[in-house]
Chain A
């Protein structure tokens, strides 16, 4: 479903991604792990074109989204949901309005349709009772669940999660992970940058270990965690799997 070929990204002199090549099939849950600065987030942001790749191609359902003559960036993004580390909810809108805004503006849904869809999603993340609350008055975990609902409202084909639990207090991490697990169980294609190894073990079909802009290791979670070949991967895993 997603095919990445030799993806490069440079920020001026900084070579962040040095030729990423991978394939993600429909319904697959892929966790991306690696030390900070290894280019995980940049890789994710390239997938929905928040960063413009400097080289290589990304095919989403067979269409090269790096070819700007072929595609409309906004249409690509509408199909690729993204959840951020810092939630990035719109503070001037209620939880419900956060969810209904994009479907109405981009998909052209009516208020009724959008609201109905929003309530379904609020039920799914267990926050129907918070529909009319502003983000300021929600806990971090609740905000992140609303953010997930907001992305889902666009009915994306794939969901990207950029360290969705890193900015959360420990007691709120589980509620977000539970929502993500349910999502995975429902067959959503997901790419998750995370440090939650428990989540990776339980849910992921495949784990990518990235370091210095390259995918060093790739494989099923148990296999990768136990039999990493590279020293850097071993070091990182030994620290994080304690």
Chain B
């Protein structure tokens, strides 16, 4: 559940989600669930001309299984905190 909790902390931040079909979407992280499904708000597609059908999509739900990367804001990663959480999770609790 570490990454689930981690993404929950990023709610409200601006992220770019790159999908396995190479579509990259930038938007405000609205919510995330245990499958790492993601909901974005105020979305815009990075390569708009290539995906004209996405023009009128403002909010979207992305299935966790199709996500390749999530690009985070530079200050979105607290490495020490993440290290501690990882060790805690590895110990089983």
Physical interaction between A and B: no
Partner-A contacts on B (CB < 8 A) = none
Partner-B contacts on A (CB < 8 A) = none
